[in-house]
Amino acid sequence: MKDKDLIKLNRETYNKIAHLFAKTRRYLWDDLKPLQKYTKDGFKVLDLGCGSGRLYHLFQDFQDVKYIGMDQSEEQIKIAKEKFSGIDFRIGEMTKLPFKDNEFDVVYCIATFHHLPDEESRIKSLQEMKRVLKSGSYIIMTNWNMYSNTAQKLVANGKFNEFKSGDFLIPWMNSQSEVLGERYYHGFTLEELENIFKKTGLKIQDQYYTTKGGNGTKDDPGNIVSIIFSRNI
C-alpha cells in the first residue's frame, strides 16, 4: 500500500468510527495529566490530531488560554465542535499548518505522529511544528509503544498486522468484534525518534515510556512520551 493510501485509509477509518471512537475518549487518561505542566495562563495552544477534542479538558483550569484543535478527520472535528461549543476546531494536515510563524506557545501532538507513513512527512510535520512555535517553546508528543510485550503478542497472533518492519495495520472493532476499519501506525523506537528530532534541529528535553499513568519500560503496554525543545536560530 502506498504512503498516500495509508493516509487516506486513516482518514476514512476515523471518519467511519468517529462516534464510537469519541465514546472511548470522553475523559483524560492518567498518562496525559502530567503533560498539563507545559501550559500556563495566557498560552496559545495547538493540539494536532485532536480527534473529538478530549485534550481540551487539560486546559480548562487555565486563564485566557487560546486553544486550537486540528485533525484530518471531518467527522471527528464535527463531534469536537458539538461537544465544545465556541472552541476553535479545524480540519487540516500536520504537514501544512495554516498558521503564522512563531504563533504558538506550545504544541501537543498526542498519539498522532505515529500515523505518518514515511520519513518525508514526519520531517515536514516537525518542521511545521517548529515554524509555528515561538522560540524556546515545547512540542509535547506521545506515540504508541508498539514493542511492548502486549503489542508483540497481538502481532504474533495476527490481530495486529505488521505488514512491513515497523509498520502496522491495526483494526478497530465494535462490541460484536466486527472489524469496522483499519488504521496505520508506525512503531517508533526511542533511537528512531531521537534521530528524526535531531534532523529537524529539535532537542529532546525528556523521553520515556509511560504505562497506566506512571513510568514504564519498553516491555510495558503504553506510550512513548517525548518532550521536545524548539529554539529558532
Phi, psi dihedral angles at 33 (to 5 degrees): -60, -40
* Residue 157 maps to a domain: no
Encode pLDDT of 215-229 as tens digits: 999 999 999 999 999
Encode pLDDT of 47-84 as tens digits: 999 999 999 999 999 999 999 999 999 999 999 999 99
Q: In what order do the strands lie in the sheet with 179-186?
A: 161-164, 167-173, 179-186
Q: In which domain, by residue range, is 34 found? A: 3-147+187-230
* 224, 193 contact by CB (below 8 A): yes
* Residue 153 maps to a domain: no
Q: What is the pTM of this model?
A: 0.96
Residue 48, helix vs strand vs coil = strand
* Residue 200 maps to a domain: yes
* Residue 216 maps to a domain: yes
> Bridge-partner residues for 214, per DSSP?
211
**Number of structural domains found in the chain:** 1
What pLDDT was estimated at residue 7?
96
Q: Is the pLDDT at 133 greater than 90, yes or no?
A: yes
| 141 closest CA partner among 80, 210, 81, 75 | 210
Sorted by sequence, the CB contacts under 8 Å of residue 128 that are 6+ apart come out as 94, 95, 96, 97
CATH number for the domain spanning 79: value is 3.40.50.150
